[in-house]
Amino acid sequence: MRGTEKHGDPFELACAAVAASAAKDVGTEARRWLSYIAHERRLSPKTLEAYSRDVAGFLSFLTEHLGDKPSLRDLAALAPADVRAYLARRRRDEIQARTLMRSLAATRSFARFLEREGRGKVAALAAVRTPKIPRSLPKPLSAKSARAVADPASRAGEEREPWVLARDAAVLALLYGSGLRISEALGILRRDAPTEGGQLTVTGKGDKTRMVPVLPQVANAIEEYISLCPFNVKGDEPLFRGEKGGPLSPRVVQLAMERMRGALGLPDTATPHALRHSFATHLLARGGDLRSIQELLGHASLATTQIYTAVDSASLVEAYRAAHPRAR
């Protein structure tokens, strides 16, 4: 884990949260599990916090449900009815299905660790079905709208510094042209600025790196921003800067997208992340294969990328209904 923060080491806080909710033997194994997912699986501090919170919540419920802090023996003796009682309690607290699914995923991760380490099998967790959640499809922009958002000319007339307008255009061009997340675009260092196009190495979730394409138009937008930027940005500092010279905040990018929504008449679903969705959907529509798109997006699972096939199919059906004489 990274160094100690003002409010404490995130790893130690996560361990303490779980240990406070269980018997000593469970707390000991929880520390080992959290160390494993933090260092071996390289989950982010936020994911680590969420997982520890979910497991602590499950153990706290069991303390009330069983009458004492659960031990490893208690976990092994759980019945499916005990897990269903936990889910029912969470539903009564109006917890949404997606959050319940994440909670189960966290507790099952801990249970798999215990079994793998020979510390007992929590069979009840595997015997209960995961709550079903409505599957919502990504909402990409049309190719025309996505290009307009990333076009510096679309910002003509805005009463803001030219370098700020160029910066916003460059960031949004990266999100659409290279399929980046906001964090990935804002994590690019000055020395790695792709001013000549080609490819760029980005660091994604779990500190995993991947190569992404940089189109000439995107490289030109970045070069324009650099030429106008009033700050002397060092090679090891983030490329994109805020108006006071510090690293650019994701919120500023979101606000820039909100302004573009108003200027271009786009719906509220036109967010910075929708540009990443647009990148994938438009590649698929042009014949890109799913494996390649998975690599470009940095998805760990092909199933995550496959949602874009549904988006593409929906677009085809919509085009058919709009154009075919018998569909009217």
pLDDT of residue 152: 77
Assess if residue 118 is contained within a domain: yes
The reply to whether 94 and 177 lie within a common domain is: no
User: In the annotation, is 205 catalytic?
Assistant: yes
The reply to whether 27 and 121 lie within a common domain is: yes
Assess if residue 248 is contained within a domain: yes
Assess if residue 286 is contained within a domain: no
pLDDT of residue 115: 93
Catalytic, out of 119, 190, 276, 282: 276
User: In the annotation, is 6 catalytic?
Assistant: no
**Residue bearing tokens 């008449």:** 265
Catalytic, out of 31, 65, 147, 273: 273
Which residues, 6 or more positions from 192, have their beta carbon under 8 angstroms from its beta carbon?
200, 201, 239
pLDDT of residue 318: 54
The reply to whether 166 and 270 lie within a common domain is: yes
The reply to whether 175 and 107 lie within a common domain is: no
C-alpha span between 239 and 11 (Å, rounded)? 30
The reply to whether 102 and 164 lie within a common domain is: no
The reply to whether 39 and 80 lie within a common domain is: yes
Assess if residue 27 is contained within a domain: yes
Catalytic, out of 90, 155, 181, 282: 181
Catalytic, out of 102, 139, 205, 261: 205
User: In the annotation, is 308 catalytic?
Assistant: yes
pTM of structure:
0.59
The reply to whether 92 and 151 lie within a common domain is: no
What residue numbers bound the domain in which 162 lies?
Answer: 143-276
Catalytic, out of 119, 190, 277, 299: 299
pLDDT of residue 61: 93
User: In the annotation, is 234 catalytic?
Assistant: no
Burial tier of 238 (Cβ tally within 10 Å: 0-12, 13-18, 19+): middle
CA angle 120, 122, 123 (to 5 degrees): 120
Assess if residue 3 is contained within a domain: no
Assess if residue 212 is contained within a domain: yes
Catalytic, out of 51, 176, 225, 308: 308
Torsion sign (Cα): 100, 13, 27, 44: positive
Instruction: Show the beta-strand stretches assigned E in the chain.
Output: 198-203, 209-214
pLDDT of residue 314: 53
Assess if residue 257 is contained within a domain: yes
Chain centroid, CA 231 distance in Å: 30
> Which CATH number do you get for residue 249?
1.10.443.10
One pLDDT digit (tens) per residue for the chain, 328 residues: 343 334 567 778 888 888 888 899 999 999 999 999 888 777 778 888 888 899 999 999 999 999 999 999 999 999 999 999 998 898 888 777 778 888 888 899 999 999 999 998 988 988 888 777 666 666 888 889 988 988 878 877 777 899 999 999 999 999 998 989 999 999 999 999 988 878 888 888 878 889 998 999 999 999 999 999 999 999 999 999 999 999 999 999 999 999 898 888 988 888 898 898 888 888 887 888 778 888 888 887 777 777 777 665 555 445 445 554 554 5
pLDDT of residue 240: 97
The reply to whether 164 and 263 lie within a common domain is: yes
pLDDT of residue 39: 82
User: In the annotation, is 324 catalytic?
Assistant: no
pLDDT of residue 1: 39
pLDDT of residue 237: 95
The reply to whether 177 and 84 lie within a common domain is: no
Assess if residue 136 is contained within a domain: no
The number of distinct structural domains making up the chain is 2
User: In the annotation, is 181 catalytic?
Assistant: yes
Which tokens belong to 77?
């003796």
